[in-house]
Structure 1
Amino acid sequence: MLISSKDLLLTARAGGFAIPHFNFWDEISARTHVAAAEQKHVPILLAWAQKHEADISIDEALNLGKFYGAQAKVPIVLHLDHGFSPDLVKYGVNHGFTSVMIDASAEKFDKNVAMTKDVVDYAHQRGVVVEAEIGHVGTGLSEDDANQYTEVEAAVEFVKRTQVDSLAVSIGTSHGVYKSAKTPHLNFERLSELRKAVPIPLVLHGGSSSGDDNLNKAARLGITKVNIYTDLANAALHEAQAQKYASVLKMIEAEQDAIKSLDEHYIDVFDTVKLNQVETATALGAL
C-alpha cells in the first residue's frame, strides 16, 4: 500500500529507530526493494532521484513505484529524492509521489528558504509531505575534507520559516563513494543538538559505506530515515559483471539477491521495527 511518510517518521522519531530509504533505478531494483520490505515486514521509502532521469524518467519511475507500492503487503512511501527543480518536484506532487524532497541546499540560506517554502505551500495544499536539506552533504568526501555541518540555529530558523516536514542534515556522511577507505567520522554531538532543537524528523543522506555502528547510533540519537543508494547499485553491478557469461535470467537473479541481501542488512542496522509494532505505536498515540 502507498502511504505518506509523515506518520512513519514521527513514529521512528519517538521510537529511536530509522526507516530505510532505498533508491531504485530500474524495474529490478524497485521490485526487489519491495520484496525485501515484505520479507522483513517493515515499511520503507521507495525513492527515485532527479539525477537518475537520464536512465529512468520521472514518468517511468512513477509507473513502477505506484505499481509495486500499491500491491505491496507493507506500507510503501513513494518518494522523490533530491529534486533540484521546483517545477519537477511539483509535477511529482501532482502525479503520485506521496513524499518529495526539494533540494536547494547548494543555494544561499534565504534562497533555500524561499524555494523550499514555495514547494511546501504547494505540496501541503495537495496532501504531500516535503523534505528539504540544510548544511550540504558532500560528494566522495575524504577524511580531510571540510564537510559543511548543519548549524543548529540555522536549522531551527529554516524549519520555522518553511514549515517543512523533515530535514536532511549534514553530520559527516557523503554521497557516492568515499575517497578514503576509512569509515567516516560522524558528528554525533551535533546530531544530538539538532535532535533537541529541531521539532521535526531528521534524515541522513549518504548512508552507503558510512559504517553500521555509525548508522545504528545515528538512528538511536534522532535520525529517522537513512538514504541508501551507492552500496546497492555497486552490489548489483558487481553481481551482473560476475554473471557476464551466464544467461540473462541468472544475471537478474544475481542482481536481485545482492540488492535484497543489502536491503535486509540495512533494515537490521537501522533497528526498523516490524509493521505490527508501528501499528501499535500509532494506536497508542505515539504520533
Structure 2
Amino acid sequence: MLISGKEIMQHAYENGYAIPAFNFANMENLQAIIQGAEEMNSPVIIQTSQGAIDYAGAEYLADIGLGAAHRANIPVVLHLDHGQKYEYCLKAIRLGWTSVMIDASQDTFSENVSKVKEIVKVARPLDIYVEAEIGIIGGKEDDLVSDKEIYTEVKDAVNFQRETMCDSLAIAVGTAHGVYKGEVKIDFTRIKEIRALLPVPLVLHGSSGVPLDMVTKAVHSGITKVNFDTELKLANLDALQRFLKENPGVYDIRKMFKPCRLAMKEVVKAKIAACMSTDKSWIIS
C-alpha cells in the first residue's frame, strides 16, 4: 500500500498522532519494520539515508522498498532521509520515492531556503512530499556529523516555511542523532510554540534513546513524524552478538539474522505505540 507522504502526514497532523519513520539498509532491517507495523496496524514511513544508498545502491533499495510497500497491508511511504545533494533527491524521485528530505540546515538561512525551493519546484508537480530542516540537530548519523546544536527559533521556522513552501519541517529542540550522551532534554514548549504558528507537520529527528514517554509527550506537543534509526541498529547488534556467542561455529546467515529481525521488530512496535499510531491504518486506507 504505497501512498504519498502528503496523505499519510496530513491525516496524522489533523488527528493528533505521529507517523513513525524507520531507516533501513537491508532486507532484514526492512522486514522488521514492515512486520512490526503490520502487527500494530500502523501506517509507517520507511526511509533511506544517503549512507544507506551509498552502501546498497539506490536501485536495490528501490527494489526492496517499493516491493515491500506494494505488498504491505498498511499504508507505507518511501522517504529519502537527510538528502544533502540535489542529485540524491532527484534520483530518489525518478526511482519512485514518494517523499524526500532536502537537508541544507548547516548552510546559511538563505542558502537553505534556496536549496529547498529547488526541490519543491521539482517535487510538487509530481505529488512528492518535501521535508526540510531548520536549526542544527547535534550528533552523528551516517556521514552527517555535527558537534554543535542550534535550537530552531520560532520566527525562523515560520519565515522559512513561508518562503520555501516545504510540506513538513524538522526542528531542533534538544534531540541528537546517534547514541545519546547524557540526559535527554527536549524543549516541549518550543514545539508547542512552533506548532501554533506553523501550518505544516513538524518532524522530530534523533529520537533513538529518547524515553518512550518523552516521545509521546513530544507528539502531544505537536510533533507529527518521529525518526528512529540507531536503536534498530543496536538491537540488531545485540541479537547478533548473543547468537554468535550461544552458537559458535554457525555460519548460515539465515540462522544468524532471524533473531536480529525479531529484535528489531520489537523495537519498531514499541516506537509505534509511543507515536500513538497503533490501529490508524484502517482510517487512512
TM over 0.5: yes
> How does 1:36-115 map onto structure 2 within 5 Å?
36-115=36-115
| 1:165 corresponding residue in structure 2 | 167
For structure 1, which runs of at least 5 residues remain unmatched after alignment? 283-287
Q: Is the 1:173–1:186 Cα contact (8 Å) retained in structure 2? A: yes
Within 1, Cα distance between the matches of 2:280 and 2:181?
37
| 1:3 corresponding residue in structure 2 | 3
Q: Is the 1:17–1:273 Cα contact (8 Å) retained in structure 2? A: no
Within 1, Cα distance between the matches of 2:282 and 2:201?
19
Give the letter aligned to residue 68 of structure 1: A
CA-to-aligned-CA distance 1:145-178 (integer Å, 9 cap, x gap)? 8631111111111111111000000100000011
- Residues 205 and 133 from structure 1, CA distance in 2 versus in 1: closer, same or farther, beyond 3 angstroms? same
Which SS does the other structure have where 1:208 is aligned? coil
Give the letter aligned to residue 124 of structure 1: R
Q: 1:278 aligns with which of 269, 275, 283?
A: 283
Q: Is the 1:117–1:163 Cα contact (8 Å) retained in structure 2? A: yes
Q: Is the 1:168–1:202 Cα contact (8 Å) retained in structure 2? A: yes
| 2:273 corresponding residue in structure 1 | 268
Q: Is the 2:138–2:148 Cα contact (8 Å) retained in structure 1? A: no
Give the letter aligned to residue 158 of structure 2: V
Shift of 1:210: 1.2
| 2:121 corresponding residue in structure 1 | 121
Shift of 1:250: 2.7
Which portions of structure 1, spanning 4 or more consecutive aligned residues, are displaced by more than 6 angstroms?
A: none
Task: State, as a whole percentage, how many aligned pairs show the same letter.
Answer: 36
Within 2, Cα distance between the matches of 1:273 and 1:266?
10
Within 1, Cα distance between the matches of 2:77 and 2:123?
15
| 1:154 corresponding residue in structure 2 | 156
Within 1, Cα distance between the matches of 2:38 and 2:133?
29
Shift of 1:35: 1.0
TM-score by length of structure 1 reads 0.92
Give the letter aligned to residue 152 of structure 2: T
Q: Is the 1:74–1:275 Cα contact (8 Å) retained in structure 2? A: no
> How does 1:24-35 map onto structure 2 within 5 Å?
24-35=24-35
| 1:240 corresponding residue in structure 2 | 240
Shift of 1:64: 0.9
- Residues 42 and 220 from structure 1, CA distance in 2 versus in 1: closer, same or farther, beyond 3 angstroms? same
Give the letter aligned to residue 148 of structure 1: I
| 2:207 corresponding residue in structure 1 | 207
Which SS does the other structure have where 1:153 is aligned? helix
Shift of 1:224: 0.5
Shift of 1:7: 2.1
| 2:255 corresponding residue in structure 1 | 250
Aligned residues: 275
For structure 2, which runs of at least 5 residues remain unmatched after alignment? 141-146
Q: Is the 2:150–2:172 Cα contact (8 Å) retained in structure 1? A: yes
Within 2, Cα distance between the matches of 1:222 and 1:11?
13
Q: Is the 1:3–1:76 Cα contact (8 Å) retained in structure 2? A: yes
Shift of 1:37: 1.1
Q: Is the 1:165–1:200 Cα contact (8 Å) retained in structure 2? A: yes
Q: Is the 1:138–1:175 Cα contact (8 Å) retained in structure 2? A: yes
Within 2, Cα distance between the matches of 1:276 and 1:176?
29
| 2:225 corresponding residue in structure 1 | 225
CA-to-aligned-CA distance 1:33-67 (integer Å, 9 cap, x gap)? 11111111111001011122332211111111011
- Residues 277 and 66 from structure 1, CA distance in 2 versus in 1: closer, same or farther, beyond 3 angstroms? closer
Q: Is the 1:16–1:221 Cα contact (8 Å) retained in structure 2? A: no
